[in-house]
Structure 1
């Protein structure tokens, strides 16, 4: 399995009960740690293409869930300085709004359509994180199609580009949900954990948080290598 890091928000904050926020200083240190080890952060699109061609050595997938507005001001500038890219997964039905799905958590602004197009122009990949950030498991067939297929079309209409990646809200995925993503025409999808459907349409990722300094990053990298050794 490819090595993929999972981020959410990058900004200064006083309260982070869900542990989804990394401070700008810590984020810059984490990406510098990769660069110092001659590892290059890339979008999922680039990573999977390189892997298919057999030349993905030294590449690390960088993903950002939810499409927070701080991706524009805090994340992209650091990526560009290091000549890295990343994939940001956005919620198509909440562009320019707030993370209303996080009950009781601090409200964070989400990227709007203009910001999303700007990120794509900087070489970042935009993927879908569903239409409304609902857990897909347990939805009706019609609601599942809306969250998966309709979100793809909505984002493509805004971007004028193909959207080839999907990310399961909360990491919830089983065979039914993975099949819906395949049928919708996505070439890959990101999950969180290993599961019976782990594969191209349910890729596991490694969570990165504020506590992850050099030692923890090294341990997570080593764990991935052991777990997925061939």
Structure 2
């Protein structure tokens, strides 16, 4: 049993005129957010690094950086900005839509997704690749067999692309109950990320703090304090 890790949740980083779902952060704002983290003495790391450090009792000053969906702008905007600070991150990829676009957001601007070469390149830069399912479907509405496919095939597909183990999962839309968390555990993932308001806890439903375009220094500070408060209130998390 250890203290709840501090994890930030991003999606896309690019210049954008229309963002109905508030998933896009402009490159300038993102650069300032990373600079704020560095100024606070925090180091952004992947979930793989964060959890390993936490297990060794060495996670002080670390913050997990996660990016959902695997947008192509992760390659051109996110990775270079992270490397300038010597940060890393985890990007959760939709394995069945590599090289396509965000088909699940029918009412939002079309955003291209990384292809297999992009996923491999990101991994070569030190970024962790995690699974965000096969088709970005809400898992809680699926049959047991379809749930297993989204979870297990997503892992296998990405392992084929990368040639190494994929240990992290992220629930599409943050939708998770104990059934989905149990399926993710059985599929062999060592951890999974949910959202802050998830009804399920533990290593396979880790809460995260949403970060968006409106988050300047003051809001970032408030969110960090809120995390500390929740950690004291909720105490410890375990399996």
Is the CA contact 2:175–2:198 (under 8 Å) kept in the aligned structure 1? no
1:125 aligns with 2:114: no
TM-score normalised by structure 2 residue count = 0.95
Q: CA deviation at 1:85?
A: 0.2
Q: CA deviation at 1:103?
A: 1.7
Are 2:91 and 1:88 aligned?
yes
Aligned length: 230
Q: Please point out which of 190, 200, 215 is paired with 1:197.
A: 200
The unaligned stretches of length 5 or more in structure 2 are none
The runs of at least 4 aligned residues of structure 1 exceeding 6 Å deviation read none
Q: Partner of 1:149 in structure 2?
A: 152
Q: Which runs of 5+ in 1 are unaligned?
A: none
Counterpart pick for 1:19 among 19, 22, 25:
22
How does 1:110-189 map onto structure 2 within 5 Å? Answer: 110-189=113-192
Of 98, 104, 108 in structure 2, the residue corresponding to residue 105 of structure 1 is: 108
In the alignment, is residue 213 of structure 1 matched against residue 216 of structure 2? yes
8 A contact 2:50–2:64 mirrored in 1: yes
Distance 2:112 2:61 in 1: 33
Q: How far apart are 1:193 and its partner, in Å?
A: 2.5
1:151 Cα offset (Å):
0.6
Q: How far off is 1:196 after superposition? A: 4.0
Label 1:187 to 1:58 Cα distance change in 2 as closer, same or farther (>3 A). Answer: same
Q: What is the CA distance between 1:15 and its match in structure 2?
A: 0.3
Give me the TM-score of the superposition, normalised by structure 1: 0.99
> 1:193 & 1:150 partners in 2: Cα distance?
26
Cα separation, 1, equivalents of 2:151 and 2:199: 20
RMSD: 0.7
Indicate yes or no: 2:227 matched with 1:224.
Answer: yes
Q: Distance in 2 between matches of 1:28 and 1:195?
A: 29
The separation in 2 between residues aligned to 1:195 and 1:158, in whole angstroms, is: 30
